[in-house]
Amino acid sequence: MVENQETIPDQGEPDGTNGSATAAISPDGRPQFGERYVVAARTGRAVSLLPGEILRVINTHGTQVCDFWAFCTEDPREFMSMEHLRAQLETIIPQAGQPLCTNRRRPILTFIEDTSPGIHDTIIAACDLHRYHSLGVEGYHDNCTDNLRLALLAIGRRAREIPAPFNLWMNIPVGRDHAIDWLPPVSRAGDYVDFRAERPCIAVMSACPQDMIPVNGKDNVPVNLHFEVFAAGSFIP
């Protein structure tokens, strides 16, 4: 017998807490157009988008990775999926101009602009408490998985599952021997990416807390990010 999906436990309960829990931009996540919001170092924030609206994510210092997700507003069981978009785009790094699809193979966002050198990652799972324990951490460590959970809870939403994120500016080259490396970003201060919403969705951004390997710069110091939302059909400065 197939278990009723409503009775399957979700994955929305965080393992700890941080500023993500109280950082909602509004009770329902709807933004003020053109306002620049901060995603504080080691935390996450969520924003609710309508079709045609444009989300700009800014690598303020140039060294910070942003774990990025998008969930369909009507049904969060449909979300931007790295494994599905790799098959659709036939690449491991999406480029500006390409649609980003869900686990139901429908477009949820279009990647419309990228001022950085274009190095991002779709392979690595979001860091979580288990990842830090495997790296030798004892006790709690901020992590992108909890940042996602907490950012959604802050706007009255909940993660039913934890998809792999689109890791903006994360530099994970794949070698000829198929091995991967963990390198600092090649982005520059002020580089940004723009996404256009193709359906109502909740986007979540986490300023990755990783401070043990140099994915957030050679000094391993997480810093903040910023984002803005522009109205559908508006001019983007």
Could you tell me if residue 13 is inside a domain?
no
By the 8 A CB rule, do 193 and 42 touch?
no
Please give the Cα distance from 111 to 108 (Å, whole number). 10
Beta-carbon-side half-sphere exposure of residue 168 (alpha carbons within 13 Å)? 31
Could you give phi then psi for residue 147, rounded to 5 degrees?
A: -60, -40
Which of these, 122, 79, 114, 82, lies nearest to 95 by C-alpha position? 114
Task: Indicate whether 5 belongs to any domain.
Answer: no
Q: Does the pLDDT value for residue 3 go beyond 50?
A: no
Q: How far is Cα 205 from Cα 211, in angstroms, rounded to an integer?
A: 18
Main-chain dihedrals φ then ψ at residue 198, nearest 5 degrees: -100, -15
Largest Cα separation within the chain, whole Å, is 55
pTM: 0.95
For residue 146, give the H/E element and its range.
helix 144-154
Q: Mind listing the pLDDT tens digit for each residue in 43-81?
A: 999 999 999 999 999 999 999 999 999 999 999 999 999
For residue 22, tell me if it sits in a domain: no
How far, in Å, CA of 125 to CA of 234, rounded? 34
Sheet holding 201-207, edge to edge: 44-49, 201-207, 66-72, 166-168
Q: What is the mean pLDDT of the chain?
A: 95
Q: Which long-range contacts (CB under 8 A, 24 or more apart) does 93-98 make?
A: 93/118, 93/119, 93/120, 93/121, 93/122, 94/120, 94/122, 94/166, 96/193, 96/194
Does residue 185 form part of some domain?
Answer: yes
- 225 pLDDT higher than 70: yes
Is the pLDDT at 5 greater than 60? The verdict is: no
In a domain, 25, yes or no: no
**Structural domain includes residue 3:** no
In which domain, by residue range, is 226 found?
Answer: 33-230
The answer to the question of residue 67 being in a domain is: yes
**Number of compact structural domains in the chain:** 1
Can you give the pLDDT at residue 233?
87
Checking if the pLDDT of 4 tops 60, the result is no
Distance CA 137, CA 218 (A): 20
Q: How many CB atoms lie within 10 A of CB 31?
A: 19
SS (H, E, C) 153-197: HHCCCCCCCCCCCEEECCECCECCCCCECCECCCCCCCEEEEEEE
Between 139 and 237, the more confident residue is 139
Portion of the chain with pLDDT greater than 70, in percent: 95
